[in-house]
Amino acid sequence: MLAQRAVEPTSSVERACRILRALSDPGVTRLTDIALATGLDKTTALRLLDVLAQDGFVVRDARTKHYRLGAELLVLGAAALARFDPRPLARPSLLRLTGRFEDSVILSIPSGIESLCVDVEEGRYPIRANYLSIGSRRPLGVGAGSLALLAWMPEAERQAALAVIAPQLQRYPRITARLLEDHARAARERGHAVLLDVVVERMGGIAVPILGADGRPVAALSIAALNDRITSREVELAQALRREAATCEVLWSRAASDGGAAGAGTTTTTVRHGRMH
């Protein structure tokens, strides 16, 4: 479920957008959940849901009274993905990483001050540590992939994002803005992000960003596993993730040159360890 936002929405359009984003999380279906995730009162949320349902953007189950995204959004989504869909380019990397390490691999992209899970390949290891599903949103920094997106943001933007994110961290009692700032700094120094035992006990993740032409993160690859499966293989995991991220950057560069990936750009010059590559 999305954390309640600190800044009150100023228009009906913004409120409606918050509802649609909230519904992208599979765990948000009830009116109570939607109101909590968006910071809206139930009356306002219900009124906007009715409007969205009339236009096909939201569907309400008459029996359960649960809400889900409507078919109209599929049309818009298909139009957006026709321009550029990162998932087919990254999917071979997810398959290779899962096949090699047997733990779940996640592809995340930035969405404002949140990270959005857009693809998951579940691992074969008997104990699965992944708590994300496609469509899940988390504040930047909450989770390894999300932390990688935060860590490689430009400094001024990262500080601004942390200031906005801080009030949302109340539902993550082990995470503070200071902890995220420290972990982001350490991630940039080592070239990969690690977050253990702070979101889910005894579980964690390791991640690297996929960078665009300007050095900004356009996505992140992460592996979710039990803590000891990360710490015992951290060097090997990080090296494999960096290789796959570099492969994705090349593919996105080619897609950009073909006119299919606005903003992905070329990636011949990126910074991962505080030095140029």
Q: Can you give the pLDDT at residue 203?
A: 92
Tokens linked to 230: 């990360």
Residue 105: pLDDT band by 50, 70, 90 thresholds? very high
Of the candidate CATH numbers 3.40.50.720, 3.50.50.60, 3.60.21.10, 3.30.450.40, the domain formed by 84-257 belongs to 3.30.450.40
- DSSP assignment letter at 120: E
State the average pLDDT for the chain. 84
Domains of the chain, by residue range, sit at: 12-78, 84-257
Q: Can you give the pLDDT at residue 80?
A: 58
pLDDT, tens digit (0-9, with 9 covering 90-100), for 228-252 = 999 999 999 999 999 999 999 998 8
Q: Which of 89, 202, 184 is nearest to 145 (CA)?
A: 184
Q: Are 203 and 227 in contact (CB under 8 A)?
A: yes
pLDDT, tens digit (0-9, with 9 covering 90-100), for 169-222 = 888 888 999 999 999 999 999 999 999 988 888 899 999 999 987 788 999 999
The enclosing H or E element of 32 equals helix 31-38
Contacts of 161-170 with C-beta under 8 Å, sequence gap 24+, read 161/113, 164/6, 164/7, 164/113, 165/113, 165/139, 165/140, 165/141, 166/6, 167/6, 168/3, 168/4, 168/5, 168/6, 168/139, 169/3, 169/139, 169/142, 170/3
Domains 12-78 and 84-257 share a fold: no
Residue 83: pLDDT band by 50, 70, 90 thresholds? low
Q: How far apart are the first and last CA of the chain?
A: 38
φ/ψ (deg, to 5) at 19: -65, -45
Scan for tokens 């420290």, then name that residue: 182
Instruction: Name the CATH topology of 12-78.
Output: Arc Repressor Mutant, subunit A (1.10.10)
